[in-house]
Amino acid sequence: MCDLVVNARSREETVKCVGSGHSFTSTAVTKGHLVTLDNWSGIVSIDRSTLRVTVKAGTTLAVLNELLHAEGLALPNLGDIAYQTVAGAISTSTHGTGVSLTGLAGQVRGFTLIDGQGQILHCDLENNADIFDVGRVSIGALGIITHYTLQAVPAFRLHAVERALPLDVVLERIDEFVDSNDHVEFFWLPHTPWALTKRNNRTEEPLQPLPKVRGWIEKTFMENVAFGALCHLGKARPSLIPRLATALPSSGKREYINDSFKIFASPRIVRFYEMETAIPRASLVPALQEIRAMIDAKGYLLNFPVEVRFTAADDIPMSTASERETAYIAVHVFKGMEFEPFFRDVEAILKRYESRPHWGKLHFQNAEELAQKYRRFGEFVALRSRLDPDRVFANDYLKQVLGD
């Protein structure tokens, strides 16, 4: 890959590295050379004294979770999608949920990259510490990352409690809800008063997974096949969407205990467009209330829930949780339906709350706006110019979010 970068630079061509293709933005799109790390997968080494694990950057989270579990280890926090590559998830600031925990980039203890001049740089607190500090969330702008060293923890189990509650109750008790659980999230169902809540807490209790048949019915059939059918029906007859929304659960409770990585991630078969935005945690309730009022006022018909999650602040310059405790609001629209007007209206509301877009999700913000929302934005841009002065890794998306 070093030769590829050197040759591309000499010919004034571009190079981009693509992960699993999960991003909704064009962050990995290029008119030049597209590099895939599909065959660059696996654990390289494990330091048992520190529980630090070095992995190849093309490893998917699904594969890494299984490999770590076989070694009695796990990652402390994960998102709800596991088919992303390690590099793709970290580079776009993928986060998971848990107000006392950071996103995936906060678990990084080192990385190796090939910069825009074809040099291999090992970066951690002792080597190229400035690159490590600024570049843990890279947005694909600094080079091709080939390895990550991640902080693992001993494998653990989660006790999952899932139930529907009135959204107003959830918002009234939001601080209690967030602070009293290890990992929390909820899904508000537009056109209904209901929020589907998920509380996952660490436990020493023995495994009590959902029975195989029940698990398939509830997790695969109901949440994917049946939900997908409702979405298709709503796409064909949008006027039915408010009524179809009531078909989703509004009562009942589900509890089970399983290995952490089996609870963090869920199968996702139904296709959609997504925009996810990070705002200060304290702004969640008024922001979500504004979104709810806007949906009612403009008459949007939405067959996908609005997802809300939380993370701790971190010290990573381009992380969506940089220097502030964060709430995330994710809005979705079923694949093939018009999404841009709704997303723009949501973004207009959230801009009033110091919003930062997820780097891998749809948004309309530009470099001028984003420079005001990240205290160390200028440091990142300067590092990019140092590592890739000829913009070998440039593309239209980076021009949008970082400027020229």
**pLDDT tens by residue, 280-300:** 999 999 999 999 999 999 999
- Token pair for residue 183? 């990992």
**pLDDT tier, 318 (very low <50, low <70, confident <90, very high otherwise):** very high
| Residues 254, 260, 262, 264, Cα dihedral to 10° | 80
Q: Which has the higher per-residue pLDDT, 80 or 318?
A: 318
CA–CA gap between residue 279 and residue 287 (Å, rounded): 9
CA–CA gap between residue 256 and residue 263 (Å, rounded): 9
Please, what are the domains in the chain?
2-154+368-402 (3.30.465.10), 157-357 (3.40.462.10)
CA–CA gap between residue 350 and residue 329 (Å, rounded): 9
- 6 Cβ neighbours under 8 A, 6+ residues apart: 117, 118
Q: Any idea what DSSP says for residue 314?
A: B
The answer to whether the CB of 184 falls within 8 A of the CB of 198 is: yes
- Is the four-CA dihedral 379, 278, 141, 389 of positive or negative sign? negative
Predicted local distance difference test score (pLDDT) of residue 267: 77
Q: Give the chain's end-to-end CA distance (angstroms, integer).
A: 25
Whether 249 shows a pLDDT value over 70: the answer reads: no
Predicted local distance difference test score (pLDDT) of residue 251: 54
**pLDDT tier, 248 (very low <50, low <70, confident <90, very high otherwise):** low
Provide the 3-class DSSP secondary structure of residue 389.
coil
Phi-psi region of 191 (alpha: psi -120 to 50; beta: other; left: phi over 0): left
Give all strands (DSSP E) within 284-365, no chain letters. Answer: 306-311, 326-334, 356-357
The answer to whether the CB of 73 falls within 8 A of the CB of 51 is: yes
Predicted local distance difference test score (pLDDT) of residue 238: 86
**pLDDT tens by residue, 349-363:** 999 999 999 999 999
In order, the DSSP letters of 48-113 are TTTTEEEEETT-BHHHHHHHHHHTTEE-S---S---SBHHHHHHTT----BTTS--GGGGEEEEEE
pTM greater than 0.85: yes
For Cα atoms 194, 195, 196, give the angle at the middle one, nearest 5 degrees.
120
- Token pair for residue 350? 């959230």
Whether 131 shows a pLDDT value over 80: the answer reads: yes
Q: Which has the higher per-residue pLDDT, 215 or 245?
A: 245
CA–CA gap between residue 89 and residue 82 (Å, rounded): 9
**pLDDT tens by residue, 13-51:** 999 999 888 888 888 899 999 999 989 999 999 999 999
Burial 136-156 (b: 16+ CB within 10 A, else e): bbbbbbbbbbbbbbbebeebe
**pLDDT tens by residue, 329-350:** 999 999 999 999 999 999 999 9
Predicted local distance difference test score (pLDDT) of residue 246: 78
**pLDDT tier, 250 (very low <50, low <70, confident <90, very high otherwise):** low
CB neighbours of residue 99 within 10 Å:
21
Whether 215 shows a pLDDT value over 80: the answer reads: no
**pLDDT tens by residue, 101-123:** 999 999 999 999 999 999 999 99
Provide the 3-class DSSP secondary structure of residue 315.
coil
**pLDDT tens by residue, 46-67:** 999 999 999 999 999 999 999 9
**Residues β-bridged to residue 34:** 16
In order, the DSSP letters of 170-228 are HHHTHHHHHHTSSEEEEEE-TTSSEEEEEEEEEE-SPPBPPPHHHHIIIIIIIIIIIHH
